[in-house]
Amino acid sequence: MNPIVRRQLAGPLCYRRSSTPLKRAAAFASVLILAGCASLSPDGGSADVQALVNGNPLMAGTTAQRAPDEASQKSVDALLAKPLDVEAAVRIALINGPRVQDAFATLQLSDADRVQAASLPNPVLSFSRLAQGSEREFERMLSFNVVGLVTLPWQARWAGQRHEAAKLQAAQSVLMLAADTRRAWVRAVAAQQSVVYLRDAKEAAEAGAELAHRMAQVGNWSALQRTREQLLLADASAQLARAEQAAVASREQLTRLMGLSGARASYTLPDRLPPLPQAAPELGDVQALALRDRLDVRSAQAQNTAVAGSLGLTRATSVINAMELGVVRNTTFDNDADRTKKTKRGFELDLPIPIFDWGQARNGRAEAQYLQSAARVRDVGVLAASEAREAWQGWNTAYAIARRYRDEVLPLRKKVNEEMVLRYNGMLASVWELLGETRASMLAVNAGIEAQRDFWLADTDLQLVLTGSSPGGMTAAQTASASDAPATGGH
């Protein structure tokens, strides 16, 4: 087919595929044209994915990069030059992260499948040369798979729908990556912050143990009293070591998501998590929001539509699933005698005779697939609504806990510390009680950091649950109580 003609006809026909009986014939007639309009999209559909995720709060105002180029790498370097805030981390992951490229590659595969499905089956040219004595027989046949031709509109439409679903899935992958990066950033910063406070707690235990050692040295304390203080130090050291390991692990997780290695992996993180927001957002009906906006819900619906389409195709081809129609031209030469040349023309039709397979299995399978996909739509709907409720509740709980730490536990802890200093001043309490209280304070601050961390994790979960996808299990609010840690000096 002339490419120019194809282009001229491409516009209206590619986007309006009629299925009314009146136009069936026209549709059939335009099969060749139709098949011709399926071509690979230049960006593999990534622009459509961008459109799906644009404006999502998880995206930090950035666009995912299909393939990193020099300019984007420069921007990554620029972002890495400063302490990495959460937006920067998300940007880098979306530009540079291996997972986003994976997602786009997957999308490109789906695009290829779509084009493949909508491509006209090539006609088959068979040629045979037979010799019998002086006779030569040339048989040429040009045949088409007619069923393939007839079902092409269905195939093309179905593949298009599948590609739409794939776009939705790719968009989910992008959002998941953004969410995972956010979570990893929150965990890494919190873990790093924890280390600082646990180091202080250990230092307090160290001072206590050192003084205890000197107390025993000059004969003021027994081995029992000294050993108890050393025990506190050993505990504090173990706790710090655990926290340091956790900090490394969470930072590495972030590094992996951002796809960084080498010198680039030695980025710096800010000292602390962002402060809590002033108030809970007004969200209205979170369930409705999730059911309307979530990409996995939309993806399941799109897939269901595609399966429904394929059901029609299967029904149409259940009995006759193959038909070859060919034009045959048979030429016979007799070289021996009178060099006669006879040419026979005709056609050939291949048609399976439905004796054994009446297509029940194919129909049954297609129907089961349809039921399955319908069930999945329902499942995803239930999941989305439930997760929306859970995430919203989780957000509120995490917010309340984090605020309680910020507004109550930590100020009260501080007050306890101040009072303990006053008691120390009055020789009403020993330096070990003072240090014990200081240690307890550091642990409370640490618990406060964890509460703040849990809030930001819950916040990410909520964003993802309302607009993106299932976060794959809620982040449980990890509670830690340090307010009631008794501050005994160990004697």
Find the binder of another protein among 48, 137, 203, 367 (CB under 8 A). 203
Q: How many whole angstroms separate alpha carbon 150 and alpha carbon 152?
A: 6
- Mind giving me the DSSP string for 68-103? --HHHHHHHHHHHHS---HHHHHHHHHHH-HHHHHH
Evaluate whether 324 touches 349 at the Cβ level (below 8 Å).
yes
Amino acid at 316: A
438 scored as a contact of another protein (CB under 8 A)? yes
Report which of 303, 302, 316, 318 is spatially closest to residue 365, judged by C-alpha positions.
318
Instruction: Establish if 77 lies at the interface with another protein (CB under 8 A).
Output: no
Residue with tokens 């990495």: 84
Measured distance CA(456)–CA(478) in Å, rounded: 12
Least CB distance to another protein at residue 275 (A): 24
Q: If binding is defined by CB under 8 A, does position 221 make contact with another protein?
A: yes
Question: Distance between CA atoms of 452 and 399, rounded to whole angstroms?
Answer: 8
Partnered with residue 346 across adjacent β-strands are 328
Which listed residue (428, 476, 478, 479) binds another protein by CB under 8 A? 428
Distance CA 64, CA 428 (A): 62
Q: Does 424 bind another protein (CB under 8 A)?
A: yes
Q: Considering the rule CB under 8 A, would residue 206 count as an interface residue with another protein?
A: yes
The correct pick among 58, 311, 410, 429 for binding another protein (CB under 8 A) is 429
Nearer to another protein, 4 or 218 (CB): 218
Does 204 bind another protein (CB under 8 A)? Our answer is yes
CB 362 within 8 A of CB 440: no
Name the residue nearer to another protein (CB basis): 384 or 442: 442
Cα-flanking dihedrals φ and ψ of residue 118, to 5°? -95, 5
If one asks whether residue 216 binds another protein (CB under 8 A), the answer comes out as: yes
Question: Is position 421 an interface residue for another protein (rule: CB under 8 A)?
Answer: yes
237 binds another protein (CB under 8 A): no
Does 227 engage in binding with another protein (CB under 8 A)? no
- Give the separation between CA 165 and CA 307, rounded to whole angstroms: 11
Residues contacting another protein: total by CB under 8 A: 37
**Rounded to an integer, what distance in angstroms lies between the CA atom of residue 452 and that of residue 273?**
7
Contacting another protein (CB under 8 A), which of 73, 225, 321, 397? Answer: 225
Distance, in Å, from the CA atom of 489 to the CA atom of 471, rounded to the nearest integer, reads 45
Say whether residue 239 binds another protein (CB under 8 A): no
Which residue, 134 or 222, is less far from another protein as judged by CB? 222
Of 423, 474, 480, 485, which lies in the binding site for another protein, with binding defined by CB under 8 A?
A: 423
- Which of 67, 428 has the CB closer to another protein? 428
Q: Which stretch binds another protein (CB under 8 A): 264-272, 326-334, 349-357, 429-437?
A: 429-437
Query: Based on CB atoms, which residue is closest to another protein, 42 or 219?
Result: 219
Query: Which helix (H) or strand (E) segment is 348 a member of?
Result: strand 341-350
Exposure of 352 in the CB half-sphere (CA atoms within 13 A): 15
Angle at which helix 152-217 crosses helix 86-96, to 10 degrees, equals 130
Among 214, 292, 329, 378, binds another protein (CB under 8 A): 214
Q: Which stretch binds another protein (CB under 8 A): 71-79, 186-194, 212-220, 318-326?
A: 212-220
Report which of 97, 106, 102 is spatially closest to residue 178, judged by C-alpha positions. Answer: 97
Q: Is 210 in the site for another protein (CB under 8 A)?
A: yes
Stretch of 58-66, 245-253, 346-354, 434-442 contacting another protein, by CB under 8 A: 434-442
**Residues 21, 27: Cα–Cα separation, whole Å:** 10
Q: Which of 47, 105, 211, 320 binds another protein (CB under 8 A)?
A: 211
Interaction between residue 486 and another protein (CB under 8 A): no
Site string for another protein, 161-180 (x = CB under 8 A): --------------------
**And the tokens for 287?**
């369930």
> Of 107-115, 433-441, 453-461, 466-474, which part binds another protein (CB under 8 A)?
433-441
Angle between helices 152-217 and 431-463 (to 10 degrees): 180
- Whose Cβ is closer to another protein: residue 199's or residue 315's? 199
479 binds another protein (CB under 8 A): no
| Ramachandran region, residue 61 (left: φ > 0; alpha: ψ -120 to 50; beta: rest) | left
Q: Does 363 bind another protein (CB under 8 A)?
A: no
Q: How is residue 85 written in tokens?
A: 């805030």
401 near another protein, judged by CB under 8 A: no
Cβ contact 345:153 at 8 Å = no
The reply to whether 272 sits near another protein by the rule CB under 8 A is no
Q: Which residues would be at the binding site for another protein (CB under 8 A)?
A: 200, 203-204, 206-207, 210-211, 214-223, 225, 417, 419, 421-432, 434-435, 438, 489, 491
